[in-house]
Amino acid sequence: MKLVIAIVQDEDTSRLVNQLMKNGYGVTKLATTGGFLRAGNTTLLIGVNDDKLQCVMGIIEQVCKCRKQTTTAPSALGSMGTMPGMSSYPVEVTVGGATVFVLSVDQFVKL
């Protein structure tokens, strides 16, 4: 069994959860925040049998879109963002489709 940890954009979450549920996968949704943009995103935990992993990855790939975002958050500007008297400037980044980690599961129990 594998645990898929998928960090996705909030805009894609509802469709992705619906698609996963429709295909019979269990999903847990966590509200999370990206360290770089300091903006909300969503982390999904999906436990899946090994033979279904590619199907889950396919659904994630199909649903999650790349989007451009502009930020002036200090974390995105390095030391420039924190220097007194220096004005911040916008930085454009491409976010997504999805950041996915796949972990092997030692044990899965429901007690």
Interacting residue ranges for ligand 2BA, rule: CB under 6 A? 7, 34-37, 39, 41, 93-96, 99
Decide whether 17 or 71 has the Cβ nearer to ligand 2BA.
71
**Residue number, 19 or 43, with CB nearest to ligand 2BA:** 43
Q: Are 47 and 15 in contact (CB under 8 A)?
A: no
Report in angstroms how near the CB of residue 24 gets to ligand 2BA at its nearest.
26
Burial 70-91 (b: 16+ CB within 10 A, else e): ebeeeebbeeebeeeeeeeeeb
Give the separation between CA 37 and CA 81, rounded to whole angstroms.
Answer: 13
Q: How long, in residues, is the chain?
A: 111
Residue closest to ligand 2BA (Cβ): 34
Compute the least distance from the CB of residue 111 to ligand 2BA, in Å. Answer: 29
By beta-carbon proximity to ligand 2BA, the closer residue of 23 and 70 is 70
